Structure 1
Amino acid sequence: MARQLARGMGSFFKDCSCVKPARCPHRYTIRFRDALGKQREERGFTSQDDAIERLSQLYAEKKATAPSVAEARRELGQQTIREYSETWLPRQRRMAEYSTKENVLSSLNVHINPALGSRKLNSVTQTVVEQFLDDLEVNGVGRGNQVSIFRGLKSILLDAHEKGGIPSNPVKGVQGPEYVRDRVSIPTLGYIEKALSVAHEDLALEITMMVGCGLRNGEARAVNLNNIVADDVYRVHEQIHARLNRPAKLKHRKVGEFREIHLPRAVREAMEKFTERHAATSEGYLLRGPSGYYTQGMEHYRVQKLFKQLPPEEGVGMYSFRHFFASNALSNGMPITDVAEWMDHKSIEETYRTYRHLMPGSITKAARILDAGLWDAA
């Protein structure tokens, strides 16, 4: 049974059939009208005092809201998610233009708008968001894509919430999908040596940059003599973008930002030998194509030809050559913090999750050490 408070404050109750609800373990629910005049509920309050305190807070916020502000929020809340996202996306000036924005736009067009686009902002609740995530899972959307889709939806809804279009935080308490990366496949040194001997010379240099310096494909396609800033230092500041087929800023970084990595002697010599056969462009690029740059399409064609001629080891793909760099560094005792920086991971957690089994302090090695210590103590 709901207990009504002062006029306009709302009520609280337990949604159960217990004989003595005041003493049962079930939690309280509060019911109130928000600043837009729409009835809302919040659950999970452990005591009457907690429920009353929250209702008092909500009532004070509503009373402090000027009528003009409340009306503006009411009008905003009448917009649909599709309408709001059309004005929200152009405002994201800090969002990467050629990758993140494209990903969000794809998520909107393929998943978010078909399912939620016609829903008004003020009708979005945690239950709506959770049902949307459940539907993604049922429809077989990959876990990695689920993470990306939820990230975009969450950003849109939180922005609308901060501007008052959604009174209650619609993603508070929502458990988002978690992407668990499959164990990476790493080519053996023997396979790499064979691949370098039979691959097209452009592809061979790209593979060398990935194996020796840990570059991403696009960064390796942009290999440049001018990036050698010392005998053993290579500066990475751009990539050949996969869709634009021209130089672009690095992933996770702003225009003009760069990272510097150790340049092994063997890699530098490979660049020098390539230059002896093919002079670099006036801008210093070693790899090139009909459009002026060595594109993803050119890389893909040569990778297919290589793997047909030299079938790859199980699970190995082009990106596996970058994984070899991490494997080589970590297995030889390089600090994971350095490896994360060289590979330009967004966080060290990404490096740890991906390459944990390669670290010298892996669980297997730790078990052997601890076991030996126990026997010695005995």
Structure 2
Amino acid sequence: MARKLARGMGSFFKDCGCTKPTRCPHPYSIRFRDALGKQREESGYDTQDDAIERLIQLYAEKKTTTPTVAAARRELGQLTVEEYAKQWRPRQRKMTEYSTGEAVDSSINVHIVPRLGSRKLNSVTPMVVERFLDEMESDGVGRGNQVNIFRVLKTVLRDAYAKGAMADDPVKGVQEPAYVRGTVAIPSRVYVTKALAVAGEDLSLEIVVMAGCGLRNGEARAVNINNVVAQDVYRVHEQIHSNTLRPAKLKHRKTGEFREVPLPRSVREAIERYAAKHGTTNDGYLLRGPGGYFTEGMERRRVKKLFSDLPPEGGVGMYGFRHYFASNALGGGIPITDVAEWMGHKSIEETYRTYRHLLPGSITKAARILDAGLWEAA
């Protein structure tokens, strides 16, 4: 039996059929009329106080909300997550096709829509979001990706909440997935030499520029004879995008920006040998396939064969050759500030977090060096 509050505030009740409902563990439900006069119900309140507090909140909102606004909010809340995400995405004008925007689109289309796309906005609660995170974990989505996907979902839902699609914050209390950066797997010099011997000519050139110049995979695929701007300098200003398979701007950089990296003699000679043997495109690119460039699919097949032909070494993958560059540079005493710039990291903190264990210095060594420049104790 529903217990009524002041007129117009609605009522709270238990619908469990227990003989002593005030003492049973079942949750309370509430019944009320919204700003349009339509009767609605909500459930899941642990105590009478929780139910009454919610009714008071709804009553206050109804008093301050015009019927027109209430109708608009109700209509918005009936949209599905997929429908709202499609409306939300074009409004994000600061995103670009080849950087943040591409990652956001992937999060929405590959992860959010398949799991939550058909759910109406006004039915999304923190528990729904928690289950979404649990599903990603069960499906083996990496923790780093989980963090990025959750941040996209949180932004979309908070935008809908701000516009009145939900009565309560749908991500309130939901904790971001914990992500702990693992130690990078760095191949030995012997392993790099074996990889170059086993890989075909195209993949070998990619390995050379990654290990020798610190390029990312996509940047290595865009290797260009015209980027050799001096005997010992290579200019990096684009990558082959993994989705479009076309040249695109660099990660963490605006269109037209570039960075210059050291070009070891052996790397320059490898580029020149490849160009002399295979030629280049009219605009200087070396690695190319049927579509004109060294594509993601081509690389994936070649990489899979490469690591099946090589003996395993501590979880080393293709990105390990870029890590080798960092190891070689820091092990040789090159300042980490220079290494961060050459690798194109967003900040030196990223470089330090990833490679701090490679720094040749130590507290003990620092103490000896500092002591040499100090005076003798009396």
TM-score w.r.t. length of structure 2: 0.72
Is 1:163–2:163 an aligned residue pair? yes
Tell me if structure 2 keeps the 8 A contact 1:213–1:261: yes
Relative to structure 1, is the Cα distance of residues 309 and 131 closer, same or farther in structure 2, using a 3 angstrom cutoff? closer
Tell me if structure 2 keeps the 8 A contact 1:229–1:235: yes
- Identify the residue that residue 214 of structure 1 maps to in structure 2: 214
AA of the residue aligned to 1:173:
G
- Identify the residue that residue 353 of structure 2 maps to in structure 1: 353
AA of the residue aligned to 1:286:
L
Q: CA deviation at 1:40?
A: 9.4
AA of the residue aligned to 1:314:
G
Query: RMSD in angstroms over aligned alpha carbons?
Result: 4.4
Q: Distance in 1 between matches of 2:35 and 2:351?
A: 45
- Identify the residue that residue 330 of structure 1 maps to in structure 2: 330
- Identify the residue that residue 268 of structure 1 maps to in structure 2: 268
Q: CA deviation at 1:187?
A: 1.0
- Identify the residue that residue 199 of structure 1 maps to in structure 2: 199
Q: Distance in 2 between matches of 1:36 and 1:342?
A: 61
Q: CA deviation at 1:193?
A: 2.6
Q: Which aligned pairs between 1:80-229 and structure 2 lie closer than 5 A?
A: 80-97=80-97, 103-109=103-109, 111-138=111-138, 140-229=140-229
Relative to structure 1, is the Cα distance of residues 67 and 328 closer, same or farther in structure 2, using a 3 angstrom cutoff? farther
**After alignment, is 179-188 or 227-236 more displaced?**
227-236
AA of the residue aligned to 2:199:
A
- Identify the residue that residue 303 of structure 1 maps to in structure 2: 303
Is 1:72–2:62 an aligned residue pair? no
AA of the residue aligned to 1:283:
D
How many pairs does the alignment contain?
341
Q: CA deviation at 1:181?
A: 3.2
Tell me if structure 2 keeps the 8 A contact 1:36–1:73: no
Q: CA deviation at 1:35?
A: 8.3
**After alignment, is 216-225 or 190-199 more displaced?**
190-199
- Identify the residue that residue 282 of structure 1 maps to in structure 2: 282
Deviations 1:228-254 (A, max 9, x none): 334433222222233433322333444
Tell me if structure 2 keeps the 8 A contact 1:77–1:165: yes
Deviations 1:86-119 (A, max 9, x none): 3223433443435755654554455434543343
Relative to structure 1, is the Cα distance of residues 108 and 201 closer, same or farther in structure 2, using a 3 angstrom cutoff? closer
Q: CA deviation at 1:260?
A: 2.7
Q: Distance in 1 between matches of 2:35 and 2:356?
A: 49
Percent identity of the aligned residues? 67
Q: CA deviation at 1:71?
A: 3.5
**After alignment, is 192-201 or 321-330 more displaced?**
192-201
SS in 2 for 1:133: helix
- Identify the residue that residue 236 of structure 1 maps to in structure 2: 236
AA of the residue aligned to 1:356:
R
SS in 1 for 2:212: helix
Q: Distance in 1 between matches of 2:210 and 2:98?
A: 22
Relative to structure 1, is the Cα distance of residues 264 and 139 closer, same or farther in structure 2, using a 3 angstrom cutoff? closer
SS in 2 for 1:294: coil
AA of the residue aligned to 2:318:
M
Deviations 1:307-333 (A, max 9, x none): 454434232222110110121223333
SS in 1 for 2:206: helix
Q: Distance in 1 between matches of 2:176 and 2:34?
A: 26
Tell me if structure 1 keeps the 8 A contact 2:219–2:239: yes
- Identify the residue that residue 343 of structure 1 maps to in structure 2: 343
Tell me if structure 2 keeps the 8 A contact 1:215–1:322: yes
Relative to structure 1, is the Cα distance of residues 199 and 129 closer, same or farther in structure 2, using a 3 angstrom cutoff? closer
SS in 1 for 2:202: helix
Q: Distance in 1 between matches of 2:171 and 2:340?
A: 31
- Identify the residue that residue 28 of structure 1 maps to in structure 2: none
- Identify the residue that residue 251 of structure 1 maps to in structure 2: 251
Tell me if structure 2 keeps the 8 A contact 1:213–1:263: yes
Deviations 1:337-377 (A, max 9, x none): 4433322334444433332322335xxx4478789x9xxx9
Q: CA deviation at 1:255?
A: 3.4
- Identify the residue that residue 49 of structure 1 maps to in structure 2: none
Relative to structure 1, is the Cα distance of residues 77 and 300 closer, same or farther in structure 2, using a 3 angstrom cutoff? closer
- Identify the residue that residue 313 of structure 1 maps to in structure 2: 313
AA of the residue aligned to 1:260:
E
- Identify the residue that residue 17 of structure 1 maps to in structure 2: none
Tell me if structure 2 keeps the 8 A contact 1:34–1:167: no
SS in 2 for 1:260: strand
Tell me if structure 2 keeps the 8 A contact 1:231–1:263: yes
Relative to structure 1, is the Cα distance of residues 63 and 330 closer, same or farther in structure 2, using a 3 angstrom cutoff? farther
**After alignment, is 211-220 or 168-177 more displaced?**
168-177
Deviations 1:133-154 (A, max 9, x none): 2343355443233223312211
**After alignment, is 271-280 or 109-118 more displaced?**
109-118
AA of the residue aligned to 2:343:
M
